[in-house]
Structure 1
């Protein structure tokens, strides 16, 4: 379950309560009431109180709290403060709490009207997902919807690949610890830039998982993306090109599969040399 309202401010509220007075008993009762008032959304989608107890049971808790010695309360709050500090300094617990701010929307991105959702700071279409739109008007409509749904200076981040081998009908493999990864480019139409790709897995026991993933895309070019982004109203478009590992002339690694290795480091460019393969982020600024 996740908090329904003001989830990221829960810790701050607790801190304000702890700073509100020196009476540990009143402090304990205030926190107890605060926890009872919080509402959570369960994984099933239903809503419930964090402390879902009856008035009688709550009164019993209050009565029991009145009987706790001050030294015990002090120890509890000391431990509580350490838990708070751990939450504030750890990413994972914060992420769990901030999940309360998520709004899950299952809808066609071409049908969502601008203004129907809270403005977003960032929209990310990664792993070439927008390439499912094969017609220019479809992609333009998607970009226009995103533009209308972004906050001022919001970003649309697009990930796209290319290079001389991007349109080859070929299969490349990479051996990993638990399996061998196969990337197959089965079909490409140079008149439409449509491409059909598959991912297969091969395991040490000889078994295979063919076509675990299939991608039916149009391989858009960077200039096409940039022109469309400007066309729908983005104020600026920046291109970030991934650096690759430099190959040594003396490298005689028998396991070299000939694939360029990305470094995960990107630099903003306006001009680049062609490579066998490359990855870029095309970033539209509202």
Structure 2
């Protein structure tokens, strides 16, 4: 046989094929009834002859591997982006900062329990634990409305423009802060670099250049803010050479591939906040006073406020487990036993996905907290130098009545009120406002 284009004699190839078939017959090996239809591929006079088996023979040889491959291809076509699991009005919502954070409360319990006994893999993307956290725990619009009201009530004279969110986690509050005024800036500070990286990828990089150029995320300890490093952003021309505080002792040998060090201080802040009960991560009075001093120093000399939140009540000093049911998952808050001497407890947040064969993300977030009292917080703030301290409290539904609720439940409509005294209840939440 000869190629009509390249004038190359293909007979040696045919002869080699025939010799191979003869050798196989000598050893009594059965030869499949292939249909010998040579396929010629021309590429710069290089001739390649291939022999293909019939379609039905190819199908029979696939076996289990072929079935698995078809299933994988089908799963790939059905795969949805993680944003599919976010509700349209819930792409908001405790951060992950803690000085003594542990991924698991118990080594005997896995962080993720697979409830799929069949063993079949579900390739559909599982939502990130940070995405689940934002939906189940945080309400940035509500927090911002109170922050603005507190500032205008106790400072006034100007609109609050510059926010610092300590223990920011994924900085959802900071990104939401920027939306209402083009003059606003936001600073986020957190010790968990994984949460900050997720924020850059999923929050900051998706809000547009105008907004992302006005947010500054720092990786560091709130007790040592002068050593914090600015996390790199795609908007390098704006964020380069900016630091949370001037740092004269930078390590020249430190790898700066992940961070941008700073040389110029940022504008003083109108508001500094620490939400999601993050101050409970600080276990000693010395740490608490030290942190309050850092927050006070960051505030504008023209006047500013520091705002934190706290929870309490009789139910906060015992074992407790509560659930909230959302469209695509169930969120569980679990509080272990309470040490009345050290006033410490351990908190775990679990998630059960309604899809993915009811897959469980146990101990997605775990914390060791000291539950401070309101008088202790006030004394520490005054010692740190705040002129005055104010309490805004709202009573929450009894824990016995809300062991399992849908979404944020009826408690979201209860308003905070400023108080100078408050009788103990089963459960309450408080904003604590310090005035510089």
TM-score (norm 2): 0.40
Distance 1:135 1:220, change over 3 A: same
Please identify the structure whose Cα radius of gyration is greater. 2
Distance of 2:304 and 2:386 partners within structure 1: 10
Kept after mapping to 2: 8 A contact 1:187/1:197? no
SS in 2 for 1:173: strand
Distance of 1:172 and 1:233 partners within structure 2: 38
Q: Among residues 213, 224, 237, which one is paired with 1:100 in the alignment?
A: 213
TM-superposed CA distance for 1:277, in Å, is 1.1
Distance of 1:277 and 1:131 partners within structure 2: 17
Alignment partner, residue 305 of structure 2: 155
SS in 2 for 1:227: helix
Q: Among residues 145, 155, 179, which one is paired with 2:294 in the alignment?
A: 145
Alignment of 1:1-286 (within 5 A): 91=179, 94=182, 96=208, 97-113=210-226, 116=246, 117=265, 118-152=267-301, 153-204=303-354, 205-242=357-394, 244=396, 261-263=411-413, 265-286=415-436
Query: Any unmatched runs of 5+ in structure 2?
Result: 1-177, 183-206, 227-243, 247-264
TM-superposed CA distance for 1:112, in Å, is 2.8
Query: Any unmatched runs of 5+ in structure 1?
Result: 1-89, 247-251
Q: Deviation string for 1:128-174 (max 9, x for gaps)?
A: 11211101101111111111121132111111101110111121222
Kept after mapping to 1: 8 A contact 2:319/2:337? yes
The two structures, once aligned, show a CA RMSD in angstroms of 3.1
TM-score (norm 1): 0.59
Q: Deviation string for 1:17-52 (max 9, x for gaps)?
A: xxxxxxxxxxxxxxxxxxxxxxxxxxxxxxxxxxxx
Q: Deviation string for 1:253-283 (max 9, x for gaps)?
A: 99769x9724252111111222211110001
Q: How many equivalent residue pairs?
A: 191
Q: Deviation string for 1:224-252 (max 9, x for gaps)?
A: 11111111110111111125579xxxxx9
Alignment partner, residue 10 of structure 1: none
Structure with the larger strand share: 1
Structure number with the bigger relative contact order (C-alpha 8 A, sep ≥ 6) is: 1
